[in-house]
Amino acid sequence: MESTTHDAHAPPHQEPGFWQKYIFSTDHKVIGLQYGITGLMFLFMGFCLMTMMRWQLAYPGHPIPIVGKLLFRVLGEDMVGKDAAGHVGVMMPGLYNSFGAMHGTIMVFLAIVPLAFGAFGNFVTPLQIGAPDMAFPRVNMVSYQFYFMGGIIMLASFFIPGGAAQSGWTSYSPLATVADMGTRPNGQTFWIIGMVFLISSSLLGAVNFITTIIQMRAEGLTWMRLPFFVWAQFVTGFLLLLAFPPLEAAAVLQLGDNLLHTSFFLPTGLVVSGQHLHVSGGGSPLLWQHLFWFLGHPEVYVLILPGMGIVTEIIACNTRKPIWGYRSMVYSVLTIGFLSFIVWAHHMYLTGMGTRIATFFQTTTMMISIPSVIILTSLFISLWGASMRFNTPMLFALGFLPMFGIGGLTGLPLGFNASDIHLHDTYYVIAHFHYVVAPGTIFALFAGIYYWYPKVTGRFMNEFWGRVHFALSFIFMNLVFMPMFIQGMAGLSRRMYDGGATYAAQDGVVGLSKQVIGLNIPISHAVWALGLAQLPFVINFFWSIRRGKKITSDNPWQATTLEWQTPTPPPHGNFEKPVEVFRGPYEYSVPGHATDFTPQNEPPTAAPAPHGNPLLS
Amino acid sequence: MEIPYSVKPRPDTGLYNAKVGIWLFLASEVMLFGALFCSYILLRVNAPDGMWPHHWLNIWLGMTNTIVLIFSSVTVVLSWASLKMGQFKRYKLYQGVTILCALTFLCIKSYEYHDKFIHYEVILTDGRIADGHIEKGQTTADTVALLGWWPKDEAALMDPPMGHPVEKIEIPRKQIKTMENYGPWHNTYTAIYFVLTGLHALHVLAGAIVIFAIWGPLAKVWEQDPERYINRVEVSGLFWHFVDLVWIFLFPVLYLL
Ligand code: HEM
Ligand SMILES: [Cu+2]
């Protein structure tokens, strides 16, 4: 239902104005960039929240340096208090809870998903399938606007009375309903409404992506010729499409509990601070957890699959070899998609489920690690015997592999309920999922930024500072998250406002050792160092727009996939003439071919090469 | 720039874009209502024995609404078929009936909602329970007037006997301990009832608006681009069928079981 009728009225080559071109654009590339810039800003914000929380964990009760006074002035004395000596800037428990809840929410729903799916998905997918745009350009614009609205609502909630939501990114009921009961609407109300916007945005995006991939593939681009990145986005689209609606339902129900005094998640006889709560009761707190994790687990694959897609593209291009086991990777990613809908209760082993149900979910959880291992192994084997180009995107992609490996393997003890009962809700879990998402997905996102930057701007990012950025990030990421495994195994709870001091061992009292609690300090320092390590990236990013080394061809990495066969930057409508595809996505180093890469749209030569590439047959 | 397959079907999939889009959207809608149905089951299974309400809704009204929606599904198909045969006038007629059906449904639904909002359960200070519809005219600052009955306990309220006696009840406000209408806050049954039917009613409303927009304000597209117009009717019709289908599940679950 798109624009033919409109175009008919407009003069053929009228340049759209600023607003039309950059703010209300329906061009997938502009929308991708909008997602990208907004997402990076939220990534930065989510990180800032954590830098302040890490101060409180390392030095509980001390005023936060530099920003403490400012926080006090903006958020008031309920949130920011004084230490014994009367210095303002101490993070109060409520603020710690808000920052924690919003760190998770912002990172997952406002930073990583919008970057991985919204930004890279939007910019790259239509180009890689040879399409002029998304199937529904206007719906695409609306998805971004919903995302933006959701973000604004979440941010606004910091400044309302009572502050932002305080019940974790998982918003478990009844805590989410009884926290801050006095104020309505409160931070939690904003959180729910914000989530409804974000969910609607993702749903529209998912419909659009899947339709685009099904309908708009170029002539000859059959399913098994799709770049792995497109497959990853395709499965991600289905995860979002089918997993998010239950959370939307849950959000509506929790909104009822918070505003209309319904009792969906409130059990009979609930007592809050010594007071019997006047609600009808009869609800089920477990219902929330089921609905949340039914989304929650597929969501973690939403976080990782696009990252795997990006890394695969970069590895193929920089090893100058076809990806080993492309087909098994495709089947694996599809299997992950299916299985991720039936593992959710591994987040709920401690809720007292029966052994049969626990057995079922342990089995499915172990099964889902198989396809993940297949993908990772295929990527590792793809490196075998390659003469690699170690440029910045490749370094980040190579960094991704072991980091994701650590994250995935440490998931296995969590998947068995015998070991999970010890590890649940400790820093071990934090370390596990951050290994997958932070040095995992975020490295993949950096890799993607360095890799596709020349297509967007026509210039490379600076190689030297890119490497510095990689090396420092790699070191500090590990310094941040590796010690958390130790803390977690020692039993440090993930939700301690004072970094575990409450449960410190004392004479005659068993508790957390000094060393375990003491690890908080080097971790926090590594966090701040990690922040500084991003400076080269930020400067490089802006500096290279104008000053970076100019590309000399539209295909500067000499890649095979279609996004490199466009002008730079690709114009509205992308391709100068309709593309036709003749071959698979990764035909690198085909024997007998003049160059070591054969673009997907290069027609077959009249006489077939004498020796076929055994890797391709 | 022209988006391929926005009107004509793509040869290898046999579908135009909007049709793929609507099917995907409906899949997500299935998950949305599916989650709410699961919530219903969980809440009901969790309820203590004998404490899940039965027969709180008027089956005849529900039945009427079911018939109205099924009928509208038929007219939606007929209107699309008429367009396919080029009979625009007939399409207008059938789809007009669809819109009327939607409005009828919403009117009946609002009546049922209103009925719940004026229905009160009053617990007296001496422990007795009075239950019935409030008589606005005779309710004053001192007394509450109900047209209802005196169930012997909460359990009796859960399944009111058919044709229980209805009398005029006047209760001095002083004797009232709590008084609450049958809104979503009343118990988990009314809560899930309002959410399920409310969300469904919003879908009916949205569907009716879209169908009306295509039928009225956007009707001129028929002359400019008939194929596109038929696609729109088809896509909105698919959505409409889904909305009907949800009701076919809602009716027995909420009214009969
Ligand atoms: C590959 C095998 C994996 C297994 C077996 C696994 C297993 C688990 C289990 C059992 C938990 C619950 C731990 C607990 O709360 O006690 C968990 C938590 C988590 N996992 Fe994984 N996981 C795997 C991969 C991933 C991936 C790929 C991601 C995402 C990118 C991820 C993200 C998370 C997150 C975010 C949590 C914590 C949620 C929370 O409680 O806040 N995991 N994992
Ligand atoms: Cu999980």
Q: How far is the CA of A564 from the centre of ligand 1 (A)?
A: 36
Residues constituting chain B? 257
Placement of tokens 């003491």 in the chain: A518
pLDDT band for position A9 (50/70/90)?
very low
Q: Are residues B159 and B209 in the same domain?
A: no
Q: Which of A343, A133, A317 is nearest to A243 (CA)?
A: A343
Mutate to test the interface with A, among B32, B182, B238 (most CBs of A within 10 A): B32
Residues A296-311: tens digit of each pLDDT:
999 999 999 999 999 9
Shortest alpha-carbon distance between residue B47 and chain A (Å)? 6
Residues A489-537: tens digit of each pLDDT:
999 999 999 999 999 998 888 999 999 999 999 999 999 999 999 999 9
pLDDT band for position A602 (50/70/90)?
very high
Strands A88-91, A80-82: parallel, antiparallel or unpaired by DSSP? antiparallel
Phi, psi of B61 (to 5 degrees): -65, -45
More confident residue, B207 or A275: B207
Token pair belonging to A604: 């077959």
Shortest alpha-carbon distance between residue B168 and chain A (Å)? 27
Residues sharing a CB contact under 8 Å with residue B175, sequence separation 6 or more, in sequence order? B124, B125, B126
Q: Are residues B70 and B151 in the same domain?
A: no
Residues sharing a CB contact under 8 Å with residue A154, sequence separation 6 or more, in sequence order? A102, A105, A106, A110, A164, A190, A191, A194
> What pLDDT is attached to residue A404?
96
C-alpha span between A498 and A116 (Å, rounded): 34
Q: Which of A157, A190, A192 is nearest to A173 (CA)?
A: A192
Q: Do A614 and A606 form a contact (C-beta atoms < 8 A)? A: no
Is residue A10 packed enough to be buried (19+ CB in 10 Å), middle (13-18) or exposed (0-12)? exposed
Q: What percent of chain A has pLDDT over 70?
A: 96
> What pLDDT is attached to residue A11?
46
Residues B143-198: tens digit of each pLDDT:
999 999 999 888 889 988 887 888 999 999 999 999 999 999 999 999 999 999 99
> What pLDDT is attached to residue B257?
85
Q: Are residues B78 and B104 in the same domain?
A: yes
More confident residue, B156 or B237: B237
Q: Are residues B174 and B217 in the same domain?
A: no
Q: Do B174 and B168 form a contact (C-beta atoms < 8 A)? A: no
Residues sharing a CB contact under 8 Å with residue A281, sequence separation 6 or more, in sequence order? A263, A266, A267, A268, A269, A270
* Domain residue limits at B132: 119-180
Total tally of structural domains belonging to chain A: 1
User: What mean pLDDT is predicted for residues A140-146?
Assistant: 97
Q: What percent of chain A has pLDDT over 90?
A: 85
Which CA distances in Å does B7 have to A41, B53, B217, B225? 38, 50, 20, 10
DSSP string, A201-257: HHHHHHHHHHHHHHH-PPBT--GGGS-HHHHHHHHHHHHHHHHHHHHHHHHHHHHII
Judged by CB atoms closer than 8 Å, whether chains meet at A216 and B188 is answered as no
Q: How far is the CA of B201 from the centre of ligand 2 (A)?
A: 34
Q: At what angle do helices A285-319 and A355-383 cross, to 10 degrees?
A: 10
Q: Is A225 in the pocket of ligand 1 (CB under 6 A)?
A: no
- Residue B162 is part of a domain; what is its CATH number? 2.30.30
DSSP state, residue A580: B
User: What mean pLDDT is predicted for residues A109-124?
Assistant: 97
Judged by CB atoms closer than 8 Å, whether chains meet at B28 and A210 is answered as no
> What pLDDT is attached to residue A14?
60
pLDDT band for position A21 (50/70/90)?
confident
Last residue of a domain, one of B153, B180, B207: B180
- Collapse the DSSP code of A279 into the 3-class scheme (helix H, G, I; strand E, B; otherwise coil) and give the result: coil
Phi, psi of A219 (to 5 degrees): -50, 125
Ligand nearest to the CA of A332: 1
* B170 DSSP β-pair partners: B145
Bin A576: left if φ > 0, else alpha if -120 < ψ < 50, else beta.
alpha
- Terminal Cα-to-Cα distance of chain B (whole angstroms): 54
Q: Do B39 and A291 form a contact (C-beta atoms < 8 A)? A: yes
Residues sharing a CB contact under 8 Å with residue B180, sequence separation 6 or more, in sequence order? B120, B121, B186
C-alpha span between A493 and A422 (Å, rounded): 11
Identity of residue A466: G
Q: Do A102 and A49 form a contact (C-beta atoms < 8 A)? A: yes
Closest Cβ–Cβ partner in B1, B35, B186 for A245: B35
Q: Is A414 in the pocket of ligand 1 (CB under 6 A)?
A: yes
Identity of residue A498: D
pLDDT band for position A93 (50/70/90)?
very high
The secondary structure of chain B in percent helix, strand, coil, rounded to multiples of 5, reads 60, 10, 25
* Domain residue limits at A409: 20-267+281-547
Q: Which of A208, A202, A179, A219 is nearest to A97 (CA)?
A: A179
Which CA distances in Å does A273 have to A94, A175, A544? 16, 12, 57
Report chain A residues whose CB lies below 8 A from the CB of B199.
252
Q: Do A229 and A312 form a contact (C-beta atoms < 8 A)? A: yes
Judged by CB atoms closer than 8 Å, whether chains meet at B184 and A260 is answered as yes
Mean predicted lDDT score pLDDT of chain B: 94
Neighbours of B138 (CB within 10 A): 13
Neighbours of B242 (CB within 10 A): 19
User: What mean pLDDT is predicted for residues A322-350?
Assistant: 96
Distance of CA A495 to the CA centre of its chain: 22
Q: Are residues B66 and B161 in the same domain?
A: no
Q: Are residues B39 and B103 in the same domain?
A: yes
Residue A43 lies in a domain: yes
pLDDT band for position A352 (50/70/90)?
confident
Report chain A residues whose CB lies below 8 A from the CB of B13.
214-215
Token pair belonging to A369: 């690690």
Token pair belonging to A585: 């996505």
> What pLDDT is attached to residue B154?
87
> What pLDDT is attached to residue A269?
87
Q: Of A30-44, A308-322, A602-616, which range is least confident?
A: A602-616
Last residue of a domain, one of B128, B155, B180: B180
C-alpha span between A432 and A428 (Å, rounded): 6
Res. A194: pLDDT tops 70:
yes
Q: Do A534 and A473 form a contact (C-beta atoms < 8 A)? A: yes
Q: Are residues B103 and B219 in the same domain?
A: yes
Q: Which of B26, B189, B126, B14 is nearest to A215 (CA)?
A: B14
As a dihedral over the C-alpha atoms of residue B19, residue B25, residue B28, residue B32, rounded to 10 degrees, the angle is -130
Res. B3: pLDDT tops 50:
yes
Which CA distances in Å does A269 have to A284, A410, A515, A606, B125? 12, 39, 42, 80, 21
Outline where A256-391 has alpha helix (H): 285-319, 326-339, 355-383
- Long-range pairs, B102-108, Cβ under 8 A, ≥24: B102/B72, B102/B204, B102/B205, B102/B207, B102/B208, B102/B211, B103/B208, B104/B68, B105/B65, B105/B68, B105/B69, B105/B72, B105/B204, B106/B201, B106/B204, B106/B205, B106/B208, B108/B61, B108/B64, B108/B65, B108/B68
Query: Per residue in A453-472, is it b (16+ CB within 10 Å) or e — as a string?
Result: bbbbbbbbbbeebbebbbeb
Q: Are residues B81 and B140 in the same domain?
A: no
User: What mean pLDDT is predicted for residues A310-321?
Assistant: 97
Q: What is the ipTM of this complex?
A: 0.94
Mean predicted lDDT score pLDDT of chain A: 92
pLDDT band for position A615 (50/70/90)?
low
Residue B13 lies in a domain: no
Q: Do A403 and A482 form a contact (C-beta atoms < 8 A)? A: no
Shortest alpha-carbon distance between residue A291 and chain B (Å)? 7
pLDDT band for position A608 (50/70/90)?
low
Q: Are residues B193 and B105 in the same domain?
A: yes
Last residue of a domain, one of B158, B180, B202: B180
Residue B26 lies in a domain: no
* A67 DSSP β-pair partners: none
DSSP state, residue A135: S
Token pair belonging to A288: 């929330």
Residue B16 lies in a domain: no
**pTM of the predicted model, to two decimals?**
0.93
Report chain B residues whose CB lies below 8 A from the CB of A283.
43, 188
- Residue B201 is part of a domain; what is its CATH number? 1.20.120.80
Query: Per residue in B2-39, is it b (16+ CB within 10 Å) or e — as a string?
Result: ebbbbbeebeeeebbbbbbbbbbbbbbbebbbebbbbb
User: What mean pLDDT is predicted for residues A440-465?
Assistant: 97
Residues A463-499: tens digit of each pLDDT:
999 999 999 999 999 999 999 999 999 999 999 999 9
* B124 DSSP β-pair partners: B176
> What pLDDT is attached to residue A13?
54
C-alpha span between A548 and B104 (Å, rounded): 65
- Residue A222 is part of a domain; what is its CATH number? 1.20.210.10
Q: Are residues B95 and B192 in the same domain?
A: yes
Q: Do B208 and A284 form a contact (C-beta atoms < 8 A)? A: no
C-alpha span between A488 and A411 (Å, rounded): 13
> What pLDDT is attached to residue A607?
52
Q: Are residues B111 and B123 in the same domain?
A: no
> What pLDDT is attached to residue A77?
86
- Terminal Cα-to-Cα distance of chain A (whole angstroms): 41
- The alpha carbon dihedral of A519, A525, A531, A533 has a sign of negative
Residues B156-165: tens digit of each pLDDT:
899 888 878 8
Q: Are residues B98 and B216 in the same domain?
A: yes
Q: Which of B90, B97, B93 is nearest to B71 (CA)?
A: B97
Judged by CB atoms closer than 8 Å, whether chains meet at B21 and A256 is answered as no
Report chain A residues whose CB lies below 8 A from the CB of B36.
249
Total tally of structural domains belonging to chain B: 2
Res. A617: pLDDT tops 50:
no
